[in-house]
Chains A and B, each alone.
Chain A
Amino acid sequence: QTVVTQEPSFSVSPGGTVTLTCGLTSGSVSTAYYPSWYQQTPGQAPRALIYNTNTRSSGVPDRFSGSILGNKAALTITGAQADDESHYYCVLYIDSGIWVFGGGTKLTVL
């Protein structure tokens, strides 16, 4: 069974830069997995941030960027702000129409 991995938690200082990653328990993530990233604040529905590895969704600030770093997909927040404190989820296309979300990263800004 394919498992998508994310850091359970991460902390960043206001104004700082943080990179969250999205990997596989076996194998490397590439653009062929169509990684996308979602932000969810408590009590709210998720919203799309990044799709197709590195394309920002409409209205998403350019401090959010996506990439492939090594064997993982990555979400980088440059100049973190207080309202970036959220849960962040990645999702990967695995095969045969199947998609798998990572477990999510809880980002704290302090």
Chain B
Amino acid sequence: EVQLVESGGGSVQPGGSLRLSCAASGFTFYNYWMTWVRQAPGKGLEWVANINQDESEKYYVDSVKGRFTISRDNAKNSLYLTMNNLRVEDTAVYYCVTFRGSNWFDPWGQGTLVTVSS
């Protein structure tokens, strides 16, 4: 069974940092692009970042460029999102998602909540 389990969320003050992790199992992780998608409370989905299999390609939504870094460790079947200089508007549930066929998102983890507040 394919599983994606996020961790690392929590509460942080504006300007702070967090590192999210996603543990993947049930599929050959190193064969797939991976994605982070977020959802602010009561709002819609927002694509955040993609990474390819060997980390040679990374793409970000404009609002996080220069602050967030997506990375992976294929030996550990893990995906990461390092978030620096966090803002109140970064408050959201962050989902780890497999990016399949280079054009769709499936499956999704259950998400981890990041709250940025003073």
Contact = CB atoms under 8 A, between A and B. Distances in A.
Given A89-B45, A98-B59, A45 B50 contact: no
Query: Interface extent on B, as a size class?
Result: 20 to 34
Contacts of A101: 37, 44-47
Query: Interface extent on A, as a size class?
Result: 20 to 34
Contact of A99 (B50, B95, B106, B110): B50
Interface in B49-66: 50, 57, 59, 61
Given A45-B95, A45-B108, 11 more contacts: A36-B104, A38-B45, A45-B111, A46-B105, A52-B101, A89-B45, A93-B103, A98-B59, A100-B47, A101-B45, A101-B47
Contacts of B8: none
Contacts of A104: 44-45
Instruction: Classify the interface of chain A: helix, strand, loop or mixed.
Output: strand
A107 interface: no
Contacts of B46: 101
Interface of B: 37, 44-47, 50, 57, 59, 61, 95, 100-101, 103-111
Contacts of A103: 44
B103 A51 contact: yes
B5 to A, nearest CB: 11
A6 to B, nearest CB: 9
B106 A48 contact: yes
A47 B109 contact: no
Contact of B107 (A47, A51, A97): A47
A46 B104 contact: no
A50 B95 CA distance: 19
A3 B86 CA distance: 24
A15 to B, nearest CB: 28
